Amino acid sequence: MSILHKEGTPTLSYTLIAGALLGFLTHTFAPVLFYPTMALVLVFFAFFLNFFRNPKRHTVINPKHIIAPADGKVVVIEETVESEYFKDKRLQVSIFMSPMNVHVNRNPVSGITRLMKYHPGKYLVAWHPKSSTENERTTMVIEMQNGTRLLMRQIAGALARRIVWYPKEGDKLTQGEDMGFIKFGSRVDLFLPIGTKLNVQLDQMVRGGETVVAEWE
């Protein structure tokens, strides 16, 4: 079952208002365009309804699991240097969300928010190697009960123009709960300790709040 995410209410309202205005104008001044215009408005409205859906997910809370923070395809699995916070080598797992995916972002683990920072930036395509450090993005560091910290990064893509996040530094987070939303094609990165056991592979499709991406042994 899906419900409409609260971030979609303004967009859908503006679409209805614009559609009503276009309908009035075409019906008054260009009647021959009325039905094609209304059909186009309905297509856009249906797209936004699909995009802003927020399906209920069943998260099995487990302190040994890192669950997928978003729906989409795993596009990066590699060891890399995380230069913003850890400043050392980490295991990066990146999930790309197409415009057809659910764009709700969820907490991958339970814990305390130790860093929540927004970075304005470019709008390179989400799979570009430099998008993780140059695009509009947020950085969130979560400390789990065992003291381990992981970093999650929301990254805007070529179509995305707004990132929404809810946690503040010091907030207590519950695994699987909503942490934010990215409007239109985008990506989420996870930076995990080296040696973390991965349960996913490249090009695998994952479900936010349900798929176990990795686990502590």
Any bridge partners for residue 154, and if so which?
Answer: 138, 188
Nearest to 8 by CA among 49, 36, 40, 42: 49
Q: The whole model's pTM is what?
A: 0.88
pLDDT per residue as tens, the chain (217 positions): 568 888 888 889 999 999 999 999 999 999 999 999 999 999 999 988 888 899 889 999 999 999 999 999 999 999 999 999 999 999 999 999 988 899 899 999 999 999 999 998 876 766 666 667 778 899 999 999 999 999 999 998 766 567 899 999 999 999 999 999 988 768 999 999 999 999 999 999 999 999 999 998 7
Phi-psi region of 25 (alpha: psi -120 to 50; beta: other; left: phi over 0): alpha
CA distance 103 to 179: 11
Give the active site residues.
186
Could you confirm whether domain 65-215 is CATH 3.40.50.970? Answer: no
